[in-house]
Structure 1
Amino acid sequence: MKHKQLGSSSLSVSEVSFGCMSLGADRKADIKLLHQALDRGINLFDTADLYQQGENEVTVGSAFKGMREQVVIATKVGNQWRPDGSGWDWNPTKKYVLQAVEHSLQRLQTDYIDLYQLHGGTIEDPIEETIEAFELLKQQGKIRYYGISSIRPNVIREYVSRSSITSVMMQYSLLDRRPEEAVLPLLQQQQIGVLARGSLAQGMLAGKPAKAYLSYTSEAVQKAAHAVQAISGKTRSAAETAVRFALHHPAVTSAVMGLRTEEQLEEALQLGNTAPLKDTEVEALQAVLPAVTYEQHR
């Protein structure tokens, strides 16, 4: 598994990373899967305090207790569960971030988080206050780096210009090339690493039935899936080609894959060992459909 530097940080992360949101309710089996991933070269594990009302963090923390230095743990903050458990509300305030990190540290059984990410964000947020919280946590040594998980160009630009974010997690695939217009070039220029999620477009680029996606019709989606299959030929699987498309962009550091089973883990590990796409292959895929662009939050 190839490892790459995340932005301008000192974090070296696997080219394919483990999205923990997909883990189930069998903690023993989940911990076994996390250990297998680490043993095979995956070292970035992404969770959030939102997932399973914090139980996802508990699983990750239990898995890597005693081997903390071997892993890069990323988690997220900003979605506050209501006391009655009926749902959550957006809360990016400094006060809440400073409270939430303590709970995440406790659940993760660690005294520091490698990458603490704002789990969303709007242009109406108290952005300066949120940044102050992250910077304070860095000073205190409770987090090493921070980033945001967002697909909103206007929000991303604010954090790029006003903060020292290390990374941005965003959806990016052959069927969602919206980041290519302005966001990816900006992040590449500023040496901010991109963690790409959704590279299989809900599995439709890897064999699942086509349906309408963003502004694409189901027919257009099927056309893209056929192109991925054609480029793959006999040397790659469709999933490998789809993820390699996302990883081909120089701004992208790692593809975050949601993993739940050993079979999915094996596929993800194979992705990490697959040769990069050639420029001509990427160009052929890009030519299949016109790229969509962001219509909101520009």
Structure 2
Amino acid sequence: MKYKTLGESDLSISRISFGCMSLQKENYIENEKLLLKAFEKGINFFDTADLYDSGENEITLGKALKSIRDRVIISTKVGNQMRPDGKSWDWNPTKDYILSGVEQSMKRLQTDYIDLYQLHGGTIGDPIDETIEAFEILKQQGKIRFYGISSIRPNVITEYVKRSDIVSVMMQYSLLDRRPEQTCLALLQENNIGVLARGSLAKGILTGKPSDNYLDYNQLSISKASSSIKEFSTNWRTPAETAIQFALHHPAITSAVVGIRTEDQLNDAIGALEKPMLTEDEYSQIARSIPINYYKEHL
């Protein structure tokens, strides 16, 4: 496994991270086996959120990693407040909610600190300074080590770069979603803020899952993209490994956060770093297979 420092933090994280949202609901035994196997294979960064399965995802992760807590890096998110029905939620980036939310997350995760605490979304109309204040308080209290945001909105990301000490931004990035290249990746790289890339398989479309459209891409473009991934996966890489390597190729990307549900998916994720990496020529050919897309909102 390869590791890279996340922004200006002291967190050395695996270049493949475990996206816990994909874990099977209420299958604690199998989930624990999978999580521990991932750790044995070198993955040390595990990402969850208080929203996933109404908190059950955090509980699963906490139970599985309790015995190795000091050897793993746990990331969770806050900002989506569950309603009493447990099925819906409201956006709440306020100081009070963040300060109370961390207590509940730590309890579910069976830990007294969180390595990376992320705002789970964000809009330009949020009380951004208040949100930042909450994260800074939690740092001072030792309840979190570092904080970041999970966002695909350039205007929100720009404000946090200007006004906060975020060490990371999690965003969607793949061959079928290169929008971050428009402004965000260069901005974050210049400010030494780590990028956690999610969605590198584009919901499985890049590995052959059928789809009529994805963002602004129609079926023809999707077919060209998946065919290009497949072309460079014939001899030594699986399509999943190639798609993940494509996302990791950009120098701004610290780690690919891969949703893992099965051992086969884990092996594909790990394999992306064990197989020969894409050459510059291979990367360029894949990148040219479809036109790059751009942000049309939140600029």
Q: Give the TM-score of the pair, scaled to structure 1.
A: 0.98
CA shift, 1:84, in A, is 2.1
Moved more, 136-145 or 259-268: 259-268
Return the letter of the residue paired with 1:293.
Y
Partner of 2:17: 17
Partner of 2:295: 294
Partner of 1:69: 70
Return the letter of the residue paired with 1:14.
S
The CA RMSD over aligned residues, in Å, is: 0.9
Return the letter of the residue paired with 1:230.
E
Q: In the TM superposition, what whole-angstrom CA distance separates every residue of 1:182-231 from its partner, at most 9, and x where no partner exists?
A: 00000011111111011111111112124211111111100111111112
Moved more, 162-171 or 279-288: 279-288
Q: Which runs of 5+ in 2 are unaligned?
A: none
Distance 1:6 1:266 in 2: 24
SS in 1 for 2:294: coil
Distance 2:85 2:212 in 1: 36
SS in 2 for 1:205: helix
Distance 1:275 1:191 in 2: 27
Distance 2:128 2:22 in 1: 30
Return the letter of the residue paired with 2:191.
Q
Distance 2:31 2:268 in 1: 17
| Conserved? CA contact 1:193–1:251, under 8 Å | yes
Partner of 1:211: 212
CA shift, 1:78, in A, is 0.2
Distance 1:192 1:48 in 2: 21
Partner of 1:257: 258
SS in 2 for 1:236: coil
1:119 matched to 2:128? The reply is no
Distance 1:223 1:66 in 2: 46
| Conserved? CA contact 2:54–2:87, under 8 Å | no
User: 1:266-277 to 2 correspondence within 5 Å?
Assistant: 266-277=267-278
CA shift, 1:237, in A, is 1.3
Partner of 2:89: 88
CA shift, 1:281, in A, is 1.5
SS in 1 for 2:106: helix
Q: In the TM superposition, what whole-angstrom CA distance separates every residue of 1:59-116 from its partner, at most 9, and x where no partner exists?
A: 1111111311110000000000001224000000000000000000111111100000
Q: Which runs of 5+ in 1 are unaligned?
A: none
| Conserved? CA contact 1:138–1:145, under 8 Å | yes
Q: In the TM superposition, what whole-angstrom CA distance separates every residue of 1:118-145 from its partner, at most 9, and x where no partner exists?
A: 0000000000000000011001100000
1:108 matched to 2:109? The reply is yes
CA shift, 1:273, in A, is 1.3
CA shift, 1:275, in A, is 2.8
Return the letter of the residue paired with 1:15.
R
How many residues are paired up? 298
Q: Give the share of equivalent positions with the same residue, in percent.
A: 61
Q: In the TM superposition, what whole-angstrom CA distance separates every residue of 1:2-27 from its partner, at most 9, and x where no partner exists?
A: 11111121101111110000111211
Q: Give the TM-score of the pair, scaled to structure 2.
A: 0.98
Partner of 2:221: 220
User: 1:135-214 to 2 correspondence within 5 Å?
Assistant: 135-214=136-215
Return the letter of the residue paired with 1:245.
F
| Conserved? CA contact 1:210–1:222, under 8 Å | no
1:244 matched to 2:234? The reply is no
| Conserved? CA contact 1:74–1:114, under 8 Å | yes
| Conserved? CA contact 2:47–2:75, under 8 Å | yes
Moved more, 40-49 or 261-270: 261-270
SS in 2 for 1:200: coil
